[in-house]
Amino acid sequence: MPAQPLVSILVVTYNQRDLILETLNSILADPDPCFEIVVGDDASTDGTPALLAELAAQHAGKLVVVQATQNRGITRNCNATLAAARGEFIALCGGDDLWVAGRIAKQRAALLANPTAGLCHGNSEWFAHETGLPIRLQHAPGAPLAQMTSWHRLLRENYIASPSVMVRKSAIPAHGFDPAIPMASDWLFCIECGHGGIVYLPEPLVRYRIHARSVSAMRAGSMAADSLHSLTLAEQRYGHEAGVQQAIRIGRANIYRQIAKNKLVEGAPLQSLKAAIHALRLNPWAWRTSCVLGLAGVCVCANTVGARKITQALGRRLNKR
């Protein structure tokens, strides 16, 4: 039987010595013979480099380490790791997430069966770091395929779990992960790689660890700015195509609506009100925005401790939706 095209699995990490071994072992347990792991360590200070060097010696030819000598940030670390990848297909996995065995063959087969598609993603199972118990699936098992493969929907909301992504190397833009987005560059990466088509597999392909040190938790402060900048760059590159301007306008409204919710939880009603007004102007039909706007208005008008507590509680409820 002829060898299948090589898949390069990119794992970027920083100070995750207590987690990275479990992640790499979960990938190495995949039965597919045609893959390599490329780990990019962003100058960790917790002993991760020594551990990775030991693992690379144990798995020579299967595991490659790209070791930074000084911290360069998530996007630059991703690009340094990507530059070392040899595979025809590139898969992503977080340095604290767990790989689901069999994923390589499934995603490679899906992309080979859809030669115009540049990106394949799947479901992800969120699990609690402290107990290892599952929390929920990111996507409902019966999620309509049309929604999970819509490129225009991806401009409206980032519905793709980046640790579940595999892309065709030829679909990756020359800049890789856009250097203009310092941290949360995965959304624009998926937009660009998925422009030619998106494939979705409904089964979980990765187990996503929920804990306070996750990358998403650490980058929360810059997420909104990076997301807005991602849409600006997407508009510059694809704005001439049908439906793109409207999708991006809704995408911006969704980001401002999330900012409004977060500011309610943080107890910053005036900032919440401003963000909600932005969202409402961009997408007046978003009824949830009107709800947040009203809550923020109540808190601004009745600036009391009780009103702030009530509004923060309501903001938390909205954030769970």
Partnered with residue 37 across adjacent β-strands are 9, 63
- Report, as an integer, the average pLDDT of 190-200: 98
The CATH superfamily of 7-218 is Spore Coat Polysaccharide Biosynthesis Protein SpsA; Chain A (3.90.550.10)
Partnered with residue 39 across adjacent β-strands are 11, 65
- Report, as an integer, the average pLDDT of 46-66: 97
Q: Confidence class of residue 265 from pLDDT cuts 50, 70 and 90? A: confident
Beta strands, E only, 197-310: 198-210
Euclidean distance between CA atoms 55 and 19, whole angstroms: 14
Give the pLDDT of residue 218.
45
Euclidean distance between CA atoms 164 and 229, whole angstroms: 23
Give the pLDDT of residue 309.
59
pLDDT in tens, 63-111: 999 999 999 999 999 999 999 999 999 999 999 999 999 999 999 999 9
pLDDT in tens, 208-222: 999 765 555 445 557
Give the pLDDT of residue 217.
46
Give the Cβ contact number of residue 291 at 10 Å: 16
Question: What are the residue boundaries of the structural domains of the chain, listed by start?
Answer: 7-218, 239-319
**Backbone torsions φ then ψ of 128, nearest 5 degrees:** -80, 130
- Report, as an integer, the average pLDDT of 112-128: 97
Q: Confidence class of residue 285 from pLDDT cuts 50, 70 and 90? A: confident
Question: Across all residues in the chain, what is the average pLDDT?
Answer: 89
Amino acid at 162: S
Euclidean distance between CA atoms 260 and 276, whole angstroms: 5
> String of b and e for 49-66 (b: at least 16 CB within 10 Å)?
bebbeebbeeeeeebbbb
pTM: 0.88
At 270 the three-state DSSP class reads helix
Euclidean distance between CA atoms 10 and 164, whole angstroms: 11
**Backbone torsions φ then ψ of 89, nearest 5 degrees:** -120, 145
**Backbone torsions φ then ψ of 52, nearest 5 degrees:** -65, -40
pLDDT at 284 over 90: no
Evaluated on CA atoms 163, 148, 196, 219, the torsion sign reads negative
- Report, as an integer, the average pLDDT of 224-248: 97
Q: Confidence class of residue 167 from pLDDT cuts 50, 70 and 90? A: very high
Give the pLDDT of residue 311.
54
Beta strands, E only, 5-115: 7-13, 35-41, 63-67, 89-94, 98-99
